[in-house]
Amino acid sequence: MHKSMSYIVFCLILLSIVSLTTVIPISSNNADCDKEFKSPSDLKMSRGINIGNALEAPREGEWGVYIMDEYFSIIKNAGFDTVRIPIRWSAHAEEKPPFKISEAFFNRVDHVVNVSLKQNLITIINIHHYEEIMYELEKHRERLISLWRQIAEHYKDYPESLYFELLNEPHGDLTDDIWNSLVEELVKTIRESNPTRKIIIGPTDWNSVYKLKDLRLPKDENIIVTFHFYTPFEFTHQGAEWVKPTPPTGVKWRGSEAERRRIREELDIAAKWAKENNAILLMGEFGAYSRADIESRIRWTSFVAREAEKRGIAWCYWEFCSGFGAYDPVKKEWRKELLEALVSGKHYVSVESEYGEFSGTGWYEEGSYALIRLMEKDTLALDVFDHFEGLGQNDRIIDDKTIEIYVDGPRVIKAVWRKNIIMISIFVAISILILLAFAVIIFKKKTKIVKS
């Protein structure tokens, strides 16, 4: 063959090999999975969201959420890099050995996971709401291990961006010792088929920060430690029907020094523990229920997210489109402020006031200044603006209607109004005069009638 001809043939062969390898699917157990996955190992888990109340309901849809494919692009495009999908496997597996998980359910989870992975979202699946195990461990231990053996085997060829989380919020009979030995067994089981997959493990007492110190981790390089964060509970869970007794509503979160300190201190416990134990942290759930007022929710959400980020803690908001929802599935749009609280990386500065309009409220970078000014007031001159309340050491008063707020977290400034005594006196005097005038007219009319 001519030299240049063999060169062309060589190039063509090379080209076809390259194009073939790019379309060959990774092996999988599922038809849905035979599309090309990008599995960049540099995918970063930082900001995520839980698609809650769907696959962890007894049946998907029963709690009002059915996962639509488009949710994943909506989530990705909004700036999240991670999705946590809680799953109630225990409701879809045989009660007796071999505890087989239903094929139809696997197919459904495969589909959801595939759509998520194709958006290049780090995708966490867990075992959620296996309530029986919390109180009847011995009866369910073997079943839990079998569930993980099946799940692990099923997803063993999936990209590394699929993460496993052992069990949501261990509590009840799962005391530290019992949980630690179960963790060891579960990790060993998963490692039989998934030697390097990321496994997420949380402490007891509903994944409490305070229980991190009692968590015993297996020696394994691919473990991430999770905790859940709902402090203060009486704020985040006000009106939550599933909590008994249900905490009363009307609790605000203004971001006062004391309120912020409480959150910082708890997150510090987690960060300190992670440093000492060389662990990677995920705040796998945090959020405030929609029975709380939206301004407080925005402040709390942005503050907790920013404080976690400062400590290098990845987070997943609880949750996408249900009772805590950052997304409104009926209007098919994000609740803009909650989304901003999560992904903008900023803090919200607002003014609480009975009257008037203020310029300069909104989202600010930490460390910047917000210029707040009273623009106009929508009231009679009976109330006059007096002063701003809630200023800190680093804030500046520019003039009596303008201030500069140092943004070191979400800030809420109160505008205080006072009664305008002069205007009120004039108003009262005019009213009395008018009344007197009426009285005189009526009196005159009556005396006329009497005379005639």
CB of 130 to ligand BGC, least distance (A): 11
Q: Which residues contact 59 (CB under 8 A, 6 or more apart)?
A: 91
CB of 168 to ligand BGC, least distance (A): 6
Scanning 284-420, the segments in alpha helix (DSSP H) are: 294-310, 336-343
- d(C-alpha 318, C-alpha 287), whole Å: 5
Site string for ligand BGC, 120-159 (x = CB under 6 A): --------x-------------------------------
Q: Is 116 in the site for ligand BGC (CB under 6 A)?
A: no
Residue with smaller CB distance to ligand BGC, 70 or 131: 131
DSSP per-residue codes, 209-248: GGGGGG----S-TTEEEEEEE--SHHHHTTT-TTSSSPPP
CB of 233 to ligand BGC, least distance (A): 9
Which of 60, 169, 266, 337 is close enough to bind ligand BGC by CB under 6 A?
169
- d(C-alpha 407, C-alpha 346), whole Å: 9
CB of 326 to ligand BGC, least distance (A): 14
- Tokens 């009319």 correspond to 445
Residue 9: what are its φ and ψ, rounded to 5°?
-60, -45
Residue with smaller CB distance to ligand BGC, 285 or 340: 285
Residue with smaller CB distance to ligand BGC, 239 or 356: 239
Residues touching ligand BGC: how many (CB under 6 A)?
5
Residue with smaller CB distance to ligand BGC, 318 or 320: 318
CB of 235 to ligand BGC, least distance (A): 13
Residue with smaller CB distance to ligand BGC, 110 or 285: 285
Residue with smaller CB distance to ligand BGC, 165 or 337: 165
CA angle in degrees (0–180, nearest 5) for 171-172-177: 75
Rounded to 10 degrees, what is the CA torsion of 307, 313, 316, 317?
A: -10
Q: Is 168 in the site for ligand BGC (CB under 6 A)?
A: yes
Least Cα distance to 87 among 162, 191, 190, 28 occurs for: 162
Judged by CB under 6 A, the chain residues 39 through 58 that form the site for ligand BGC are none
Least Cα distance to 411 among 369, 383, 355 occurs for: 369
CB of 163 to ligand BGC, least distance (A): 17
CB of 67 to ligand BGC, least distance (A): 16
Q: Is 285 in the site for ligand BGC (CB under 6 A)?
A: yes
For residue 443, give Cα distances in angstroms to 69, 435, 447. 80, 12, 6
Q: Is 238 in the site for ligand BGC (CB under 6 A)?
A: no
Residue with smaller CB distance to ligand BGC, 43 or 134: 134
Q: Which residues contact 156 (CB under 8 A, 6 or more apart)?
A: 193, 194, 197
Residue with smaller CB distance to ligand BGC, 128 or 299: 128
CB of 272 to ligand BGC, least distance (A): 24
Q: What is the bridge-based pairing of β-strands 396-399 and 402-406?
A: antiparallel
Least Cα distance to 164 among 196, 208, 118 occurs for: 196
Q: Is 307 in the site for ligand BGC (CB under 6 A)?
A: no
Which of 318, 320, 334, 348 is close enough to bind ligand BGC by CB under 6 A?
318
Query: CA-based diameter of the chain, in Å?
Result: 138
Least Cα distance to 81 among 135, 40, 53 occurs for: 40
CB of 129 to ligand BGC, least distance (A): 6
Contacts with ligand BGC by CB under 6 A lie at 128, 168-169, 285, 318
